[in-house]
């Protein structure tokens, strides 16, 4: 049974890693104003996901409570590919929040590396915005 869990975790890691590369490209193509808006949206998505009963299933269609992951990242990725900038920003924010919670407490080393990569993407986003009102709010937002 451990082999099955390990295989599923590896498959999920490969999926999320590929999605993260697309997400990083999408973030790098944004203007400073769009990044500021994205930072604010990301704060809201993190807060909404943290308040959800099962944060790793946040925004999933038909979430099953004991499922190790939902389809929230896939939904977010579809939004990221949109030509509509507000929809793209919401997709990026959603992906970061869901991926953070999916990878947070997974005992496998590759998932821990992915969790650090997600946290690094959030940190780089925050740093790219600079010191503004949105970063003050970020510091006061608890991410559990």
22 class by beta-carbon count within 10 Å (0-12 exposed, 13-18 middle, 19+ buried): middle
% residues pLDDT > 90 (the chain): 61
The total number of structural domains that make up the chain: 1
Q: How far apart are CA 73 and CA 58, in angstroms?
A: 9
24 contact partners, CB below 8 Å, separation of at least 6: 121
Average pLDDT for the chain: 86
- Each residue's pLDDT, cut to its tens digit, for the chain (144 residues) gives 788 888 888 999 999 999 999 999 999 999 999 999 999 999 999 999 989 888 888 888 876 766 778 888 999 999 999 999 999 999 999 999 999 999 998 888 999 999 999 999 999 999 988 765 544 444 444 444
Report yes or no: 49 and 144 within 8 Å, Cβ to Cβ: no
Report yes or no: 142 and 50 within 8 Å, Cβ to Cβ: yes
Report yes or no: 55 and 113 within 8 Å, Cβ to Cβ: no
Residues of the domain holding 8? 2-140
- b/e map 64-98, b = 16+ CB within 10 Å: eeeeebbbbbbbbbebbeeeeeeebbbbbbbbbbb
Instruction: Report CA Rg, the chain.
Output: 15
Measured distance between the N- and C-terminal CA atoms of the chain, rounded to whole angstroms: 30
**pTM reported for the whole predicted model:** 0.84
- Chain segment 104-142, per-residue pLDDT in tens: 988 889 999 999 999 999 999 999 887 655 444 444 444
């Amino acid at each position: 049974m451990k082999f099955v869990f390990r295989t599923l975790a590896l498959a999920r890691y490969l999926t999320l890693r590929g999605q993260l590369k697309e997400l990083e490209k999408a973030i790098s193509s944004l203007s400073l104003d769009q990044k500021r808006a994205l930072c604010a949206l990301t704060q809201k998505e993190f807060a909404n996901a943290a308040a959800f009963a099962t944060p790793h299933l946040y925004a999933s269609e038909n979430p099953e409570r004991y499922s190790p992951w939902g389809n929230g990242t896939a939904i977010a990725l579809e939004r990221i590919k949109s030509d509509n900038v507000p929809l793209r920003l919401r997709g990026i924010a959603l992906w970061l929040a869901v991926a953070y919670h999916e990878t947070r407490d997974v005992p496998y080393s590759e998932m821990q590396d992915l969790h650090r990569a997600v946290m690094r993407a959030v940190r780089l986003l925050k740093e790219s915005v600079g010191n503004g009102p949105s970063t003050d709010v970020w510091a006061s937002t608890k991410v559990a």
